[in-house]
Amino acid sequence: MLNRVIEQFGLEVLSINEVEESFSSTVYKCKLVSGKNIFLKIPYTKLKWQREIEAYDILKGNIVIPELLDYWPGNEECPGAFLLSELTGEMLTTNVPPSVAFQVGVLHASMHAIHPPREIELTGIQNEFPNWSNFIEKQFYSFAKDVKDILDERLYQQAIDMFENMKQQLPTPDGPSFVHMDFRPANIIVDSNNVAVIDFESVRFGSTEIDFTKLYRDFLRFDSNLFQAYQEGYNSIRPLVDLEVVLPFYRFTDAFNSIGWCRRRGIEKNATFLEENLTRLKQMVL
């Protein structure tokens, strides 16, 4: 499939390296004969391809994203592919000054300030906001089928009861906004001038409250100064929801759903991530 995509784009490639930390697409960094670096991205499904191409159309000019150099809608064997520019910079880590966390907040809020466009007919990016509670419930119980095979019966039932109780206490949803659904350090690129975001296979229009969970899990919770700077950056663009109210619920559902994700994608291959989320879930439920 890779050779077919390279041929489709007419690339003269010197070297190819598969990119790690990509879980919904296969991504390759390619060095061309010209000396230029580009990225080839092949989503796992046609729906993910459709979401991605629509996201580039919606986000271009609003926030910093890679340039979409070319795309291919695919065929019976391949769901499609993208040819993307290389962003300068490195993946976000906790070893950054508060000024960078402030920029991450500005970026995140700028994305959330985007509402469903009236001038574009979307077929991939769903607007889940009108039925937000049903969307969250459907997602949770979809993964519950997989989680049940891993948790003991008592812990599983406690988790189900906790979901039902916490769901009733959520505030009015905040939106409809463009939500990334996988906004975490691996998808945030930082250089001296810009903060950019990549990977749009899972995007929706929905409530912003779901979109802080992974950033908190992997970045914000480790340093109160970074957390404060992020909130200030976000609030400079639009009001931030009360994270103390919504984060406990979404951190819980993230841990629960991630256990189901590991069951689907392979327990042995994702053993470390599975153990991390089992620990988080037990701490929250017990």
Cβ-count burial 52-76 (b if 16+ within 10 Å, e if not): bbbbbebbeeebbbbebeebbebee
Distance CA 249, CA 240 (A): 17
Q: Which of 86, 121, 137 is the last residue of a domain?
A: 86
Q: What is the pLDDT of residue 23?
A: 63
Reported as a single tens digit per residue, the pLDDT across 26-51 is 899 999 999 899 999 999 899 999 99
Residue 123 structural domain: 91-285
How much is the mean pLDDT over the chain? 93
Residue 208, phi-psi category: left (phi > 0), alpha (psi -120 to 50), beta (remainder): alpha
Paired tokens of 181: 């659904």
Mean pLDDT per 10-residue interval, the chain, length 286 residues: 86 87 80 92 93 95 94 89 92 95 97 91 93 96 95 95 95 96 95 90 96 96 97 98 96 96 91 95 93
Is 168 found in the same domain as 274?
yes
3-state class (DSSP) for residue 30: strand
Percent of the chain at pLDDT > 70 equals 99
Q: What is the pLDDT of residue 22?
A: 65
Is 173 found in the same domain as 159?
yes
Is 247 found in the same domain as 177?
yes
Is 193 found in the same domain as 71?
no
Residue 177 exposed, middle or buried by CB count within 10 Å (0-12, 13-18, 19+) = buried
Is 74 found in the same domain as 13?
yes
What H or E segment, with its residue span, contains residue 205?
Answer: strand 204-206
Domain count, the chain: 2
Tell me phi and psi for residue 235, to 5 degrees: -65, -15
Q: What is the per-residue DSSP string for 55-92? A: HHHHHTTTS----EEEEE---SS---EEEEEPPPSEE-
Tell me phi and psi for residue 79, to 5 degrees: -70, -10
Distance CA 120, CA 51 (A): 13
Whether the link from the prior residue into 185 is cis, omega within 30° of 0, is: no
3-state class (DSSP) for residue 263: helix
Paired tokens of 193: 């001038």
Q: Which of 24, 57, 86 is the last residue of a domain?
A: 86
Is 244 found in the same domain as 281?
yes
Paired tokens of 154: 């008592």
Distance CA 239, CA 79 (A): 38
Instruction: Of 132, 127, 11, 110, give the one whose Cα is nearest residue 65.
Output: 110
Residue 36 exposed, middle or buried by CB count within 10 Å (0-12, 13-18, 19+) = exposed
Q: What is the CATH number of the domain that holds 19?
A: 3.30.200.20
Q: What is the CATH number of the domain that holds 123?
A: 3.90.1200.10
- Residue 81, CB-side half-sphere exposure with 13 Å CA sphere: 23
Reported as a single tens digit per residue, the pLDDT across 117-129 is 988 789 999 999 9
Instruction: Of 114, 52, 128, 117, give the one whose Cα is nearest residue 84.
Output: 52
Beta pairing class for 195-197 and 81-85: unpaired
Q: What is the pLDDT of residue 120?
A: 79
